[in-house]
């Protein structure tokens, strides 16, 4: 483990009982160096509310760490919002809600790839909240908040009850299209040129490196490479959804067809036909160019290999694997975000 540290200045939002609801970090940094690194390292480790002297010193030494828009937002916030600075070792377990939010921001700001940050403790330190048109509300306070809104002639809309908010309320990466923002959790990594359609879903600590067309599910811990497409309602098996300790990744220029999926890692230029789900234990017949059987294996024995085409034999239903002679070429127009 290294001593790589992350640093951010942000807004902490608490309720009346002092519960930290969420944090916003508009300009987090990983392993800052130069003047920014020295300024960050001069502040205490952990989470602190900076004094006026500390804030002015930080603004003087490294103004890029304290966006003026953040200070302006603070002036318009209620008393439950306060300015904080946070410095943490990226390899240490998460010990607070503030730390959990910083690590999620680092992922969505493209400052860290999935599976490179220690996320142990994240569920324990993210409260389950009602995400509403008025921001996050502690669940037990929701009935009162709904009635208060009605008494003022307002409609308080509840979008979800969850530990994770949607990404775009905190981070909007450049060069992406998102058809339904509620399906991208904070902590998702979306690379430049990525399009996520309405049925697409990207969990926290998961990535589409871009450019990608995502119409399926990218589960926690899964990374898909450049030029790979996930067809409608396809899925990737993550460690939170029955994948155990297997970390699934899909290489470049792959296609997972509609209603298909994979529970094994794939290399580059692989295709899974529509409707076919490959799990680690799926019996697969490997065939040569003439269609003759070469061997029979469990799919896990093919993990990580490139140039594979998985199809189902129309007569027997047997899953076949043959060499994929045609790499998938994405339609450039689909990935243009100009």
pLDDT tens per residue across span 103-116: 999 999 999 999 99
Confidence of residue 5 (pLDDT cuts 50, 70, 90): confident
Q: What pLDDT shows up at residue 135?
A: 95
pLDDT of 244 > 80? The answer is: no
Distance CA 217, CA 201 (A): 5
Distance CA 140, CA 259 (A): 38
Q: What pLDDT shows up at residue 281?
A: 94
Structure tokens given for 21 = 């609801």
Structure tokens given for 216 = 């399926």
Q: List b or e across 131-141, with b for residues whose CB sees 16 or more CB atoms inside 10 angstroms.
A: bbeeebbbeeb
Q: Which of 205, 172, 204, 188 is nearest to 337 (CA)?
A: 172
What domains, with CATH codes, occur in the chain? 5-126 (3.30.70.2010), 130-162 (3.30.60), 167-282+324-331 (2.160.10.10)
For 194-203, which contacts have Cβ atoms below 8 Å and span 24 or more sequence positions? Answer: 194/335, 195/334, 195/335, 195/337, 197/232, 199/232, 199/233, 200/230, 203/238, 203/240
Paired with 184 in beta bridges are 202
Active site residues: 215
Q: What pLDDT shows up at residue 338?
A: 57
**Residue 303: how many other CB atoms lie within 10 Å:** 17
pLDDT of 334 > 50? The answer is: no
Q: Across residues 311-337, what is the average pLDDT? A: 74
pTM of the entire predicted model: 0.92
Q: Across residues 120-141, what is the average pLDDT? A: 97
Distance CA 30, CA 5 (A): 6
Distance CA 30, CA 242 (A): 32
Q: What pLDDT shows up at residue 39?
A: 85
pLDDT of 248 > 70? The answer is: yes
């Amino acid at each position: 483990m290294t001593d790589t540290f992350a640093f951010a200045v942000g807004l902490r939002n608490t309720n009346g009982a002092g519960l930290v609801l969420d944090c916003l970090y508009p300009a987090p940094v990983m392993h800052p160096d130069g003047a920014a690194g020295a300024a960050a390292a001069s502040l205490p480790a952990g989470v602190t509310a900076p004094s006026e002297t500390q804030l002015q010193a930080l603004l003087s030494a490294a103004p890029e760490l304290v966006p003026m828009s953040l200070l302006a937002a603070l002036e318009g916030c209620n008393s439950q919002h306060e300015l904080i600075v946070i410095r943490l070792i990226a390899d240490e377990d998460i010990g607070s809600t503030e730390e959990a939010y910083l690590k999620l921001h680092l992922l969505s700001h493209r400052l860290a790839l999935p599976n490179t940050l220690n996320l142990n403790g994240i569920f324990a330190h993210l409260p389950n909240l009602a995400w509403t048109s008025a921001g996050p509300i502690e669940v037990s306070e929701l009935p009162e908040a709904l009635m208060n809104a009605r008494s003022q002639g307002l409609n308080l809309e509840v979008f979800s009850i969850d530990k994770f908010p949607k990404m775009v309320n905190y981070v909007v990466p450049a060069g992406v299209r998102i058809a339904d923002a509620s399906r991208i959790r904070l902590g998702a990594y979306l690379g430049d040129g990525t399009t996520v359609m309405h049925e697409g879903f990207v969990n926290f600590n998961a990535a589409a490196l871009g450019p990608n067309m995502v119409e399926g599910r990218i589960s926690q811990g899964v990374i898909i490479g450049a030029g790979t497409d996930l067809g409608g309602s396809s899925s990737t098996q993550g460690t939170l959804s029955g994948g155990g300790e297997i970390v699934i990744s899909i290489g470049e220029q792959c296609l997972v067809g509609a209603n298909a999926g994979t529970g094994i890692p794939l290399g580059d230029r692989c295709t899974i036909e529509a409707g076919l789900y490959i799990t680690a234990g799926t019996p697969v017949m490997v065939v040569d160019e003439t269609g003759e059987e070469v061997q029979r294996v469990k799919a896990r024995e093919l993990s990580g290999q490139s140039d594979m085409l998985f199809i189902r034999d129309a007569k027997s239903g047997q899953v076949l694997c043959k060499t994929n002679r045609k790499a998938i070429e994405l339609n450039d127009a689909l990935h243009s975000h100009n």
